[in-house]
Amino acid sequence: MLSWRDGTGHRTQVSSLVPGDKRAIGRTGPCGRVRCRPAVRTPVARMNSSGSAQLPAVKMRNVIVIGSGCAGNTAAIYTARANLEPLVIEGLEAGGQLTLTTDVENFPGFPEGIMGPELVDRMKRQAQRFGATYRHGEVTRADLSSRPFKLWIGEEQLETRTLIVAAGASARWLGLESEQALIGHGVSSCATCDGFFFRGQPVTVVGGGDSAMEESLFLTKFATEVTVVHRREGFRASKIMLDRARHNDKIRWVTSATVEAVEDPAAKSVTSVKLRSTLDGKEWDHRTSALFLAIGHIPNTAIFRGQLDLDEQGYIVSHGGARTNIPGVFHAGDVQDRVYRQAITAAGAGCMAAIEAERLLEAEE
């Protein structure tokens, strides 16, 4: 006799696994063995005093995934294959940072490369094939004080037994209209992702911290020259990173200057940047084929402040594996990863979080 509980605690029993019986998984887990998992029951209509059918206000979920980038989509694939019927809240920027990238050439399995938005869409369709549901919107409030956890999209309340936070981290931009128009067309926040496309060309990096030094040093492998633009004379970068960059003959320095505009949005490519001195206000054009922003990222964790353990910059503090300080809440991708920030590492983190959630629910059956 096999049995399992659904999202409401109701126990279902079957005498055997019958092919095609949707009460059982009907699929194998990653190790090849058949598993039974809690299934979310369809809300049952009840009759109110007037005789009209009325659905319950809140549907219990086994797992909700916040975020629809590589981490969120991978978590959705794994939890859906485990028959947990995940709900994915896509966020206002559905698909995450990868949707801002044109060619992706470092994701395994695509020898000819793939467009960022297409890769995200393929992941989404793969998750949907196994039963994941996607919902556009942004989680505006969360109550993680007890299980089931409560989330709100505007005024709509959701409840879930487990939660995977894969909301990502948004790159800091300069806020220029011309910059925004050229994101993915020469303006980038990831040298590792896009540096290769500017082999044999001059590029520019904005920033003064360790990230800017790391990006600049990486870009010297491809570019003819790398110009670092920083708004002050001094740098926040560590001495070892700054010295390493200063000893690289391919790196030039423009300090006490800011980027005022990026050309040429009409041509859909970067041809130059307009720089302005912070000392005397003088402006001039600097020829470049790409502009890389290395001025930090903002993890999308504000709604969890005071509930999840966050560091001083807002990144989730890991408590081992994909676990947070709250049992049942798991992290995946750039909400916790301040170092690698790659599509493939985010996907791996999504897998980890999904397996953690699956094992927790299995242990509670």
Q: How far is CA 326 from CA 28, 86, 306, 321, in A?
A: 29, 19, 12, 13
First to last CA, the chain: 15
Query: In the numeric block, which tokens belong to residue 334?
Result: 């750039």
Q: Active site residue: 6, 70, 194, 337, which one?
A: 194
Residue 189: left (phi > 0), alpha (psi -120 to 50), or beta?
A: alpha
Gap between the Cα atoms of 226 and 245, Å rounded: 10
What is the SS3 string spanning 317-341? Answer: CCCCCCECCCCCEEECHHHCCCCCC
Gap between the Cα atoms of 112 and 46, Å rounded: 54
Told to judge if 193 belongs to the known catalytic residues of this protein, a careful annotator would answer yes
Q: Active site residue: 6, 190, 334, 337, which one?
A: 190
**70-81 and 343-363 helices, crossing angle to 10°:** 30
User: Which stretches of 94-230 are DSSP H helices?
Assistant: 116-129, 177-181, 191-194, 210-219
Q: Active site residue: 6, 36, 70, 193, which one?
A: 193
Classify strands 169-171 and 297-299 as parallel, antiparallel or unpaired: antiparallel
Classify strands 60-66 and 87-89 as parallel, antiparallel or unpaired: parallel
Cβ-contact 107, 343 below 8 angstroms: yes
What is the SS3 string spanning 352-363? Answer: HHHHHHHHHHHH
Query: E-strand spans in 166-303?
Result: 169-171, 187-188, 202-206, 225-229, 251-254, 257-263, 272-277, 283-287, 291-293, 297-299
Q: Which residues pair with 89 in a beta bridge?
A: 66, 135
Query: In the numeric block, which tokens belong to residue 252?
Result: 């030039």
CA torsion through residues 315, 317, 323, 328, sign: negative
- Catalytically active residues are 190, 193-194
